[in-house]
Structure formats: C-alpha cells, structure tokens
Amino acid sequence: MNSRIVPLFACVTLLTGCAGAAAPTAAPPTAKPAVPPTAIPTPSNARAEQLNKLQTLLRDPAFALDMAQSLDAAYYKGQGQPVPAFVKPEEETATAPKSVKEEKIAINLAGFYAVEVGVGYLAERDKQTPLDVLEAVANGSRANADMLLLARFANATWKAGQPFRALNRITRDTFGPAGLLTEVELKKDFVQIKAAAAKLVEKMQDVKGKDSAAQLARIQVLLRDTAFAQEMAQALDAAYYVGQGQPVPAFLKPGEETATNPKSVKEEKIAINLAGFYALEAGIGVISERGGETPLQIMDGIAKGNRSADEMTLLARFANATWKAGQPFRSLSRITRDTFKPVSLLTTDDVKKDLDQIQAAAIKLAEAMRK
C-alpha cells in the first residue's frame, strides 16, 4: 500500500558567539588560548534530531516488540486485571491461516478509516455535519490545513496495517515520521483521502440535509458492512493506480477468493498492540508542527497529564483510527461488532482506553528517545 506522509522542512541553526577586546601591545607569556565558540541547540535543531531518533525507533522490530508489550500491559492494568504473558511459549513460532481476500481488503481500507475519523473530528470542531465536511474534501474546497491533518490520519492508519502484513515491513525506507517523507508520497495520501470521501458522499445521499445524528447513524451502518468494506477497498485500490497513471488490475486474482496464507501469531500480537504507538507518533507530529514544541516536550506533557483537552481529544481520535485500521487484518467480521462505530458515539470508558494507550506509549517512547 502506498506510503502516508506530510513534509516538514526543519532548519538547523548554529548560534555562535565570541567576545572581542583591545589587544595589549605584547601578549603575556601566560596568555591562554581563546575558548572556541559552542553551538547552542535551537528548537528546530532539537526537533530535527528527535525526528531522526524517532525514525530509528519506528523501524526497529525489537523496539516494536518492547512497545507492544508495554501497551498490552497498560491495557490490562487500566482494566484492573492481572497482566498475562505477552506471548505464550507455543506462540513464538506458531502460524495461523489468514484469508488472502480479507488481507487485500484490509490493506486498502486505511484511507477510509482515516477519513471517517478525521472528518468526524473536523465536523465536531467546526460544528458542521459530517456530510458537509466530506463533500468539501471530495470536491477539493477544504482548507489545506485540514487536508494535511487528514493526511496525518492516513499516515497513521497506513502504519498501523504494516506489521499485520509482516513485521519486517516497518524496516523499509517509507516507514518513518511523516515530516521526513516526500511531496510525492503526500500526493498519494490526498488521492486516497479524496477517493474515500467521494465514495462516502455517494453512499450518504439519503441523509443529505439531515442532522449530524442521522448522518452518524448512516456512517455507523457503513462502517459495519463487510460488503461495503470490499466496495470501498476496491475503490481506493483503483484510485491508487489511477493516481500513478497505471492501468487498474483486478482487485483479486483467480484463486484469491478462498486462498489463505500462514501468518505469524507472535507478529499479529505485536501488531495488535502497536495502534497506540502509531497514533501517538502521528498526533505529536501534528501538535509539534502547530506549536513549535519538540516531540519530547509534548510526550512529557502527555505523561504528566498536563496537555490541553483539545490535544488529548485529537490524540484519542488518532488512536481510534489506528485501532480501526487493524481490525479487518485480524478478521473482517470484527468490523461488525458494537464497538466499531463513529468515534463521537463511543462511550467514556472506550475513550479512556484510548487515552490510557496514548499515555503509556508517550512514557515508553520518551524513555527510548533519551537513551
């Protein structure tokens, strides 16, 4: 699946200083050499260094395992339950058959979940209906800043799917902080976002002109519909090839309808528990670029519980999007469950679970960034 990105141009500034004084007619023999000027770290310098460190951690399978174990433990602790072993001995090398068709669908739904959650956030923020926002995204009239935010959601949902396919996919060059990737990759995001919005607009004409409650109810029906999931996946797969100027191949090859592939049980367990990490990474990228703080400053604030309510809401939205993106990889039937719904319809307890994951990920990542 195509990469998800937004470019960030970080400049490195060295501030140097020197003091001058009138020279004596003859320097005393004991004169000491001048102290060389030193570089003073700047915010831009620190952000660039931290993004590079973050990129290293994002691509490290050992850190992925460490983070997944931490977030799995945080989930059980948050529920007041004892923490079980992360992977049972027999699961270390075990495999389980996974549907080729369902994986193909899951791969191509990242843009859908990014748009559904991101549009929900924008609609609430601007007091618009979801369809008003979707139409503006689809026809290209939405503000650039909002499109970039949706691209961040798309980057996060794309990342969340990669370790489900194979853990070694996180080691590739395209797997890094969105701020370090290219304009070419960003364009792929916009193609996916607009295509997903257009498909949703098409399917929501029966609630056009109705209030947000009616439109959210319609979105909930679509989110839980496995037939629509395949329809959306095919549309986004086709949009990718069209965007690249390539012919659109058949969505499924002969035999893939019923074929299965063996997948590592351990790697799936890791993938399941990385949603909060990828949500945090994408969310702090947005917050950092808006306010100029470094990622570590933001993570420290999250760990201490002193970030603003709006920022924490945004981070919780990212967590819901990455969680959704992982569900069809586990089984397409999981999208039919009661918890699979527009984020604004979630219970307080469900949102708390997301925030617990965000905070645990922030503590773990900040610790690793400082090593």
Range of the domain at 62: 50-80+96-369
3-class DSSP state of 48: helix
Write down the pLDDT at residue 43: 57
Query: Can you list the residues of the chain whose pLDDT is less than 50?
Result: 1-41
Q: Is residue 87 part of a domain?
A: no
Report the predicted TM-score, pTM, of the whole model to 2 decimal places: 0.88
Question: Is residue 169 classed exposed, middle or buried when 0-12, 13-18 and 19+ CB atoms within 10 A define those classes?
Answer: middle
Q: How many domains does the chain have?
A: 1
Contacts of 139 (CB under 8 A, 6+ apart): none
What number of H helices and E strands is found in the chain? Answer: 14, 2
| 166 in a structural domain | yes
Distance CA(154)–CA(93), nearest Å, equals: 32
pLDDT in the model for residue 182: 84
Residue-wise over 58-88: b if at least 16 C-beta within 10 A, else e? beeeebbbbbbbbbbebbeebeeeeeeebbe
| Residue 204 neighbours by CB distance under 10 Å | 20
Q: What's the maximum distance between 2 C-alpha atoms anywhere in the chain?
A: 92
Q: Is residue 118 part of a domain?
A: yes
**Average pLDDT over all residues of the chain:** 90
* 364: number of Cβ within 10 Å: 23
Which distant-in-sequence residues (6+ apart) come within 8 Å of 140 by Cβ? 194
Contact yes or no for 158/265 (Cβ under 8 A): no
Tally of CB atoms within 10 A around 187: 15
The whole-angstrom separation of Cα 259 and Cα 309 is 46
Would residue 121 count as lying in a domain?
A: yes
Q: What's the pLDDT at 39?
A: 41
In a domain? residue 43: no
pLDDT number for residue 34: 45
Give how far the C-alpha of residue 285 lies from the chain's centroid of Cα atoms, to the nearest Å: 10
CA distance linking residue 184 with residue 335, whole number of Å: 32
Query: Does 235 fall in a domain?
Result: yes
Distance from the first to the final alpha carbon of the chain: 32
Q: Residue 12 falls within a domain, yes or no? A: no
The model's pLDDT over 227-250, given as tens digits with 9 standing for 90+, comes to 999 999 999 999 999 999 999 999
CA distance 24 to 18: 18
Query: What is the rounded CA–CA span in Å between residue 310 and residue 313?
Result: 5
Size of the chain, expressed as the number of residues it contains: 371
Q: What's 87's DSSP letter?
A: S
pLDDT for the residue numbered 132: 98
Whether 10 is covered by a domain: the verdict is no
Residue the block writes with tokens 């319809």: 345
Measured between alpha carbons, how far is 64 from 321 in angstroms, rounded to an integer? 19
pLDDT at residue 29, as a whole number? 47
Q: What is the pLDDT of residues 29-66, one digit of tens each?
A: 444 444 444 444 455 788 899 999 999 999 999 999 99
